[in-house]
Amino acid sequence: MSTEDKSNRRIMDQFGEESRIPYLNISEGDVGVVVVVPILAMLVVAMTVDAFILPTLVLSFLLMLGVVYVTPSHLTAPAYLGAVYRHLKRPNWTYSVPYYETMTETSTDTTANEGGLLNYTPFKPDERTQDLTNIERAWPGAGAIQRRDGVMEAYVQVEPGNMDFAMADDWAAIQEACSEFANKELDFQLKFHATTSTYPVEKLVERLNQRMLDDDVQNNPIFAELLDEYRERRPSQMRARGAQELQFYIGVRVDEFEIKNRYEHEPTPLEKLSNIPLLGILFSPFVGRHQDRTEAERHMAMFDRLDDRLATIEGELVQNINGWDSRRLSTVELFGLCLDFWNGEEHDFGTASESLTASPAIGRTERGEVDD
């Protein structure tokens, strides 16, 4: 196992210093794998051929010792083996198919998943794409997606300023602004998502080309030559190095229960009386808390609540931190982000308009135009 100091990785999984076995340099928590697995293997072999007991014991011991040494420093050997086992047994490919209860004899898409150890046993998994993503419906134009439990979600992408040369006071100012927002303005749940993507080298080249046209560059031949050399070399260096950029997202959610209440803040006297234990049921019939809304009206109310919460994040958090900027993700961008997350690779669909089909799935003509 690697002897890397976990404090350098900001990972704290226990208090005190980790106890290790002398000479072997393995933690005490990994002893179970090194001892138990060889003993179990020896007992299994003992029921068949006695001559293989000793070789099995030695080989399984060496194998488990190797597993302990290749285990990442932030995991124990049992946790690492469990993660590897879950990875091997899960399907390699998961597809979008209807529920088994809704399938008919004419259904063509019936394979939910393929690959994985579990598919080669009598206990085949019924995992589908919908079970993983939990997405029920997209709402183009609203910048939101609906989950299978009816919850609406929307996200903003936060672009923080460059903090490479920031001092302690700069970090303290950001911490104070975030704590101020959390303590005084935040009254709803947040989701945070951070990922990396390939650095847009083409945008860098475009900015350099525009910079070459500036007056101060054209009036300084030496600076223009240096900038031109940087423009020629830097993009190829970044592509060869595989440069990436960090991306940060903040998400909000709204469920139907939140928009059913007519009064959002201060309750009325009758509402307060209805909250009294046992006696409150006497006042409940006189409290008109719920509005009878159609499904479309409920969705519009949820979209408005999402807009308000994202506006709170942008107005009370992002704009109060120097150098930060944000923008709301469109529905297409939300699906692209979900696609990157579940597939584990980047997908470049261009702009939102390029990602959408330009023709209907089913053609339509006016009556009378169809030839007899």
Question: Is 49 in the same domain as 166?
Answer: no
pLDDT (tens digit, 9 = 90+) per residue, 12-64?
444 444 566 666 666 766 777 778 888 888 888 888 877 888 888 888 888 88
Question: Is 140 in the same domain as 287?
Answer: yes
Question: Is 115 in the same domain as 216?
Answer: no
Q: Is residue 178 one of the residues assigned to a domain?
A: yes
Overall pTM surpassing 0.85 (yes/no): no
Which H, E and C letters describe the chain, residue by residue?
Answer: CCCCCHHHHCCCCCCCCCCEECCCCEEHHHHHHHHHHHHHHHHHHHCCCHHHHHHHHHHHHHHHHHHHHHCCCCCCHHHHHHHHHHHHHCCCEECCCCCHHHCCCCCCCCCCEECCHHHHCCCCCCCCHHHHHCEEEEECCCCEEEECCCCEEEEEEEECCCCCCCCHHHHHHHHHHHHHHHHHCCCCCEEEEEEEEECCHHHHHHHHHHHHCCHHHHCCHHHHHHHHHHHHHHHHHHHHHCCEEEEEEEEEEECHHHHCECCCCCCCHHHHHHCCCCHHHHCHHHCCCECCCCHHHHHHHHHHHHHHHHHHHHHHHHCCCCCCEEEECCHHHHHHHHHHHHHCCCCCCCCHHHHCCCCCCCCCCCCCCCCC
Q: Is residue 263 one of the residues assigned to a domain?
A: yes
Question: Is 194 in the same domain as 322?
Answer: yes
Q: Is residue 222 one of the residues assigned to a domain?
A: yes
Q: Is residue 317 one of the residues assigned to a domain?
A: yes
* pLDDT value, residue 12: 42
Q: Is residue 355 one of the residues assigned to a domain?
A: no
Determine the Cα–Cα distance for residues 147 and 175; give it in Å rounded to an integer: 32
Question: Is 33 in the same domain as 143?
Answer: no
Query: Greater confidence, 111 or 330?
Result: 330
Q: Is the pLDDT of residue 5 over 60?
A: no
Question: Is 204 in the same domain as 285?
Answer: no
Question: Is 145 in the same domain as 263?
Answer: yes
Q: Is residue 357 one of the residues assigned to a domain?
A: no
Domain count, the chain: 4
Q: Is residue 302 one of the residues assigned to a domain?
A: yes
Q: Is residue 265 one of the residues assigned to a domain?
A: yes
| Least confident interval from 136-150, 192-206, 249-263, 284-298 | 284-298
Question: Is 41 in the same domain as 114?
Answer: no
Determine the Cα–Cα distance for residues 124 and 89; give it in Å rounded to an integer: 10
Q: What value does the mean pLDDT of the chain take?
A: 76
* pLDDT value, residue 279: 74
Domain containing 77 equals 6-83
Question: Is 331 in the same domain as 299?
Answer: yes
Question: Is 118 in the same domain as 217?
Answer: no
Question: Is 151 in the same domain as 225?
Answer: no
Q: Is the pLDDT of residue 363 over 90?
A: no
Question: Is 185 in the same domain as 328?
Answer: yes
